[in-house]
């Protein structure tokens, strides 16, 4: 019996909140807005909620309940800048960040959203147009917004891609541009911004440049579509840049050339592509080997509900594919092979919306930690 | 038969609870004790939990015994009523669930307490859960300035 007693010896805590494991367990179930309030309950709670471990735990819980955000805007009215969150059937407006241009929302990862906004500025020489690009990184849940420092001007709209490294919470912004003033030179250059250094670093000329800022980041590697010409034919492939800034090119399945979207599925690079011959059928491909460009078909179905020509954006979370047209959103469940339409709570139908998969988080925008309370 | 079908638990205030072994096995702490020492007809002391809390925990364990005849939908309603308790009771329950290591019960109570924080002011949270405010006036002002939006 002594042995039994020894195993069960326990000092009883008078106050539940002295047991940090339990407090962390409770707090990690709260939405970020509530956590911002809980931070000011006591120094202990402030310290717990601000710790990187807690941020990680909160993110894991948040990932169990993935949502989408979208920015509805009409071409006529640019004054309304707000981000809307879809949570099941409810729509909630995320206030704040009003001044920033969600119109140019280009990617979302672990609660951070990157928005770009281009502005034409006239150069010294007449008729030479130079485009200035504002890149914002925001966390709509904590309402933090960071404007990245300006980088060199460009003749065309630069192409952007953001790499997030889940282990360190670091992010890098890749910017491909055509240096201003070198009109004879078609080569693109690339610059990289790191959240650790807080500044841009040039990596010189690059062989491939993406044709749009549409990209996806998976485990620290960023993927864009690129176009190249071979024997008079335009070939679409994928440019990949890893954490060490190594560039590589991945071929796409032959059948997937009509209309293709980059998505992330279960931590793998995937494509949602419409069939070349059978125009209302879509396929989902998963990259199995990036070196050999081998793809495996995950699912395939007829799209009876929407004309594929209307599909503007595609996003995937858990087992659902979201197909978005200008006015409608449809979710396709890969397990049950069923469709459902998203019911708009507000009348956003007449506006163009860009949906992004989103996970609410506490992640900071700068990695240099600020401790205003000195705790 | 190597194992006894019944297990006796003794609460911190000395009350004895004779329960089915299957009920007791939902507690990983007790499971560990039983597997390790395999006491026959022994009384297992639970020195951290009083009789009132232990009976409530055992009520939960009995309900949640995997029973094929029970509709799983029944649980959510039953669970909701189970945690509809005073704050002090929730305190005692979660401490007991943590000590006895019953993960679904820990989840249930954590969700309940978390739901009580939602939409409350820091003052109200401190009041309900009896937490001391160790911030200075200046620090509190600083908070309101920086994340005042969350308090609206």
Give the sign of the dihedral formed by CA A281, CA A212, CA A242, CA A321: negative
Burial of A362 (0-12, 13-18, 19+ CB in 10 A): buried
The verdict on a CB contact (< 8 Å) between B47 and A39 is: no
Structural domains in chain A?
Answer: 1-64 (no CATH), 65-374 (2.120.10.30)
For residue A43, which residues of chain B lie inside 8 Å, CB to CB?
134-135
Specify which residues A337 forms β-bridges with. Answer: none
Question: DSSP states of A45-109 as a string?
Answer: HHHHHHSHHHHHHHHHHHHTS-EEEEEEE-SS--S---EEEEETTEEEEE-S-TTS-GGGEEEEE
CA–CA dist A337, B89 (Å, integer): 46
Lowest model confidence (mean pLDDT) among A189-193, A228-232, B145-149: B145-149
Q: Is the pLDDT of residue A142 over 90?
A: no
Look at residue A5 and tell me whether its pLDDT is greater than 70: no
Please give the structure tokens belonging to residue B64: 């949640």
Residue scoring higher pLDDT (A147 or A100)? A147
Cβ–Cβ of A37/B111 closer than 8 Å? no
Judge contact between B26 and B102, C-beta under 8 A. yes
Least confident piece of the model among A1-15, A16-30, A61-75, A150-164: A1-15
The band of A327, judged by pLDDT with boundaries at 50, 70 and 90, is: confident
Average pLDDT over residues A53-75: 79
Per the model's pLDDT, the better-predicted residue between B2 and B117 turns out to be B117
Sign (positive/negative) of CA torsion B55, B77, A31, B138? negative
Of B37, B133, B134, the CB nearest to A4: B37
Per-residue model confidence (pLDDT) at position B55:
94
- Cβ-defined contact of A30 to B114 (cutoff 8 Å): yes
Find, in chain A, the residue whose alpha carbon is nearest to that of B98: A22
- Residue A13, exposed/middle/buried by CB under 10 A (0-12, 13-18, 19+)? middle
The string of pLDDT tens digits covering residues A350-365 is: 556 677 888 889 988 8
Query: What mean pLDDT comes out for the span A31-45?
Result: 90
Residue B68 has pLDDT above 60, yes or no: no
Spatial contact of A259 and A243, defined as CB atoms under 8 Å apart? no
pLDDT at B114: 92
Q: A285-314 pLDDT, tens per residue?
A: 999 988 888 999 988 888 887 777 788 888
Cα-based angle B136, B138, B140 (whole degrees, multiple of 5): 70
Tell which of A41, A139, A144, A362 to mutate to test the B interface (max B CBs under 10 Å). Answer: A41
**pLDDT over 60 (residue A375):** no
Residue A258 near residue A283, CB atoms below 8 Å: no
Instruction: Report strand pairing: A329-333 vs A352-358.
Output: unpaired
Interface mutation vs chain B, best among A3, A30, A37, most B CBs within 10 Å: A37
- Averaged pLDDT for residues A4-12: 43
Higher pLDDT residue, B50 or A97?
Answer: B50
**pTM listed for this prediction:** 0.78
Which residue, among B118, B146, B143, B122, has the nearest Cα to B132 in the 3D structure?
B122
Alpha carbon A104 to chain centroid distance? 12
Mean pLDDT over A247-252 rounds to 92
Q: Do B150 and A5 touch (CB under 8 A)?
A: no
Band of pLDDT at residue A130, cut at 50, 70 and 90 = low
The mean pLDDT of A84-94, rounded to a whole number, is: 57
- Confidence class for position A259, pLDDT limits 50, 70, 90: confident
Read off the pLDDT of each residue in A274-280 and give the average, rounded to a whole number: 73
Specify the range with the lowest mean pLDDT, choosing from A106-110, A176-180, A280-284.
A176-180
Chain A residues in contact with B129 by the CB 8 A cut-off are 16-17
Spell out which residues of chain A touch residue B12, defining contact as CB-CB under 8 Å: 12
Q: Output B97 or A132, whichever has higher pLDDT.
A: B97
The widest CA-to-CA distance across chain B, in whole angstroms, is 68
Question: What is the complex's ipTM, to 2 decimals?
Answer: 0.87
pLDDT band, residue A267 (cuts 50/70/90): confident
Residues ≥6 apart with Cβ < 8 Å to A336: none
- How far is residue A213's CA from residue A161's CA, in Å, rounded to a whole number? 6
Query: What value does the mean pLDDT of chain A take?
Result: 78
């Amino acid at each position: 019996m002594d042995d039994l007693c020894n195993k069960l010896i326990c000092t009883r805590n008078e106050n539940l909140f002295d047991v940090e494991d339990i407090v962390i367990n409770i707090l990690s179930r709260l939405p970020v807005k509530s956590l911002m309030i809980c931070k000011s309950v006591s120094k202990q709670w402030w310290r717990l909620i601000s710790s990187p471990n807690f941020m990680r735990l909160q993110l894991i819980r948040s990932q169990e309940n993935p949502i989408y955000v979208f920015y509805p805007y009409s071409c006529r009215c640019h004054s309304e800048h707000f981000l809307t969150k879809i949570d099941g059937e409810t729509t909630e407006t995320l206030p704040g960040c009003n001044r920033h241009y969600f119109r140019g929302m280009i990617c979302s990862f672990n609660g951070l959203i990157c928005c770009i906004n281009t502005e034409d500025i006239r150069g010294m020489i007449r008729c030479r147009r130079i485009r200035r690009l504002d890149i914002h990184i925001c966390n709509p849940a904590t309402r933090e917004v960071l404007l990245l420092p300006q980088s060199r001007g460009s003749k065309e709209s630069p192409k952007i891609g953001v790499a997030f490294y889940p282990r360190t919470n670091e992010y890098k912004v890749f910017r491909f541009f055509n240096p201003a003033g070198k009109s004879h030179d078609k080569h693109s250059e690339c610059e990289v911004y790191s959240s650790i250094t807080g500044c841009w670093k040039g990596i010189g000329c690059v062989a491939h440049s993406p044709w749009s800022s549409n990209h996806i980041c998976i485990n620290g590697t960023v993927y864009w579509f690129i176009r190249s010409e071979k024997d008079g034919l335009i070939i679409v492939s994928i440019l990949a840049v890893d954490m060490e800034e190594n560039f590589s090119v991945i071929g796409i399945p032959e059948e997937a050339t009509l209309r293709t979207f980059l998505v992330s599925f279960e931590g793998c690079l995937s494509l949602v592509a419409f069939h070349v011959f059978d125009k209302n059928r879509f396929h989902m491909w998963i990259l199995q080997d990036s070196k050999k460009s081998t793809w495996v078909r995950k699912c395939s179905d007829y799209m009876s509900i929407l004309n594929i020509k209307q599909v503007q954006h595609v996003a995937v979370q858990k087992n659902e594919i979201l197909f978005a047209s200008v006015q409608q959103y449809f979710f396709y469940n890969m397990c049950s092979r069923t469709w459902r339409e998203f019911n708009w709570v507000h009348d956003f139908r007449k506006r163009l919306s860009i949906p992004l998969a989103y996970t609410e988080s506490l992640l900071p925008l700068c990695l240099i930690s600020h401790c205003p309370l000195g705790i | 038969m190597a194992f006894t079908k019944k297990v006796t638990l003794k609460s911190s205030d000395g009350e004895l609870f004779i329960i089915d072994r299957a009920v007791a096995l939902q507690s990983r702490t007790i499971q560990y004790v039983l597997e390790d020492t395999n006491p026959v007809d022994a009384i297992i002391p639970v020195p951290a939990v009083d009789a009132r809390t232990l009976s409530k925990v055992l009520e939960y364990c009995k309900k949640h015994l995997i029973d094929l005849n029970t509709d799983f939908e029944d649980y959510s309603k039953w669970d909701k009523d189970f945690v509809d308790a005073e704050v002090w009771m929730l305190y005692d329950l979660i401490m007991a669930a943590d000590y006895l290591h019953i993960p679904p019960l820990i989840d249930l109570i954590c969700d309940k307490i978390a739901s009580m924080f939602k939409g409350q002011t820091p003052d109200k949270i401190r009041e309900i859960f009896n937490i001391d405010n160790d911030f200075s006036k200046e620090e509190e002002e600083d908070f309101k300035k920086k994340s005042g939006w969350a308090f609206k």
